[in-house]
Structure 1
Amino acid sequence: MQYRDNLKQKMRNIALAGALAMVLSGAAFASPQDDLRAAVEYNRPVLVQKYVAQGVDPNLNTRDGTPLLVDALKDKNVEVAEALMRAKGIDFERTNAAGENALMMAAYQGLLPIVKLMVETYDVEVNKTGWTALHYAATNGYDDIVKYLIDHAAYIDAESPNATTPLMMAAMGGHITTVKLLLDEGADMNLRNQQKMDVIDFAKRYHQDEIAAGLESRRRKLAEQGAKPAPAQTPAAPTAAVPAAQAGKSAAPDVPTPMPPAKPAAAAPRSPDTVGTPTNMLFDSNR
């Protein structure tokens, strides 16, 4: 019996040694590219900086095909993102499968300092065909980013693949101050997407009754003043095709489907002078 127990213990030790050897062998043969991917995944900015300095390509994708910079921003790993942005040859225009680039992801996550860094230091373009950073900032009601992008030449009536605008996305998310901001900056409330929905239709479909009432009040006031609706502006770039995720769903407006649902309106920055303002006054037009 003792002999049998000793034999089992020896075989167990051999098996453990073999497994350890395999692990160590795998670690020994890990490529520098895999090391960089792991550093990004596990939020290790010092290691990211080290591998990039050694010449590892910062434009690598994760195993699921997402550019490392976009992936870092999706997880709000700001220091990792900054390390990648400082890398020589970083391509800010690389996108994931959903067409989302680094600026769009930073705008969606509310990372204003990163948005500023990209635009002011690295001259990242704020406009693109299809979904834009302005759409993504409006979706989550980040007024500070919306204003910043507009001030830096973002096309305010940018059209998604089915012609949905940032104003429509803000209304859908219930972000009343964002809607007001976009209107005051010149967004056209009379535009319609390919489903013939305007911003009021969006507000009603997504049960944003206060916003719908305010928009109707604004439209009535403009009509009383004899103001004609502004003509629809031509998009800065041709509209992209409807994404594969939206194929067969023409009855509903397209939204950034790869992203999680928009955050509650409470997450949006609120201006203290608009809190408690009656809806019909909030949406009055002085233009």
Structure 2
Amino acid sequence: LPRANGWTHLITAAYNGYSDVVRVLVEGNASPDLAKDNGYNAVIAAAYNGFDEVVATLLELGATADAKMNNGWNALMIASAQGHPRVVERLCEANANSNYSRPSNGFSALMTAVSAPHGAAC
């Protein structure tokens, strides 16, 4: 169940890198794609912080690699901008759309990586 701010236990566990907790929650019927009102979900939370193992666990348990936030950012773009190459690789292996671009500015994950000081891309 989401808290007042929209953070679920799953999003919180993913954000903090607790892959074992993520597994228990999803195997206990938490939706791996449940998102806050702005589209922020567990995969995006784990990608932001570079938690490759959490991303892998979520994808293994059925999470969508291409989920987007309302602002157009997706997990691949976020991992690229944050400089998390292992997460980028994991998402690309899960067939995340590396050609997707944000409607607001046309930036793709590759363009995001190039413009970030420590970016990574597939």
TM-score range, shorter chain: 0.7 to 0.9
Aligned pairs, number: 118
Partner of 1:144: helix, strand, or coil? helix
Is residue 2:23 matched to residue 1:116?
Answer: yes
Letter in 2 for 1:138: A
Contact 2:47 2:55 in 1 (8 A): yes
1:67-111: CA deviation from partner (whole Å, max 9, x where unpaired)? xxxxxxxxxxxxxxxxxxxxxxxxxx22342x2211001000001
CA distance in 2, matches of 1:163, 1:127: 16
Is residue 2:34 matched to residue 1:128?
Answer: yes
CA distance in 2, matches of 1:189, 1:171: 10
| Structure 1: segments with no counterpart, 5+ residues | 1-92, 216-282
Letter in 2 for 1:135: I
Q: Which of residues 90, 94, 102 is equivalent to 2:2?
A: 94
Greater radius of gyration (CA): 1
Is residue 2:106 matched to residue 1:201?
Answer: no
Letter in 1 for 2:58: L
> 1:217-232 maps to which residues of 2 (within 5 A)?
none
Deviation at 1:165, TM superposition (A): 0.8
CA distance in 1, matches of 2:110, 2:117: 11
Task: Identify which of structures 1 and 2 has the higher relative contact order when contacts are C-alpha pairs closer than 8 Å and 6+ apart.
Answer: 2
| Structure 2: segments with no counterpart, 5+ residues | none
| Identity value in percent | 27
CA RMSD of aligned residues (A): 1.5
Deviation at 1:155, TM superposition (A): 0.9
Deviation at 1:197, TM superposition (A): 1.5
Deviation at 1:141, TM superposition (A): 1.0
CA distance in 1, matches of 2:32, 2:9: 11
Give the TM-score of the pair, scaled to structure 1.
0.39
Partner of 2:91: helix, strand, or coil? helix
Q: Which of residues 65, 69, 72 is equivalent to 1:160?
A: 69
Letter in 2 for 1:94: P
Is residue 2:50 matched to residue 1:141?
Answer: yes
* Dislocated runs of 4+, deviation >3 Å: none
**Closer, same or farther in 2 for the Cα pair 1:197/1:95, shift >3 Å?**
farther
1:130-179: CA deviation from partner (whole Å, max 9, x where unpaired)? 11100001111111110111111101100101121110111111001111
CA distance in 2, matches of 1:128, 1:115: 13
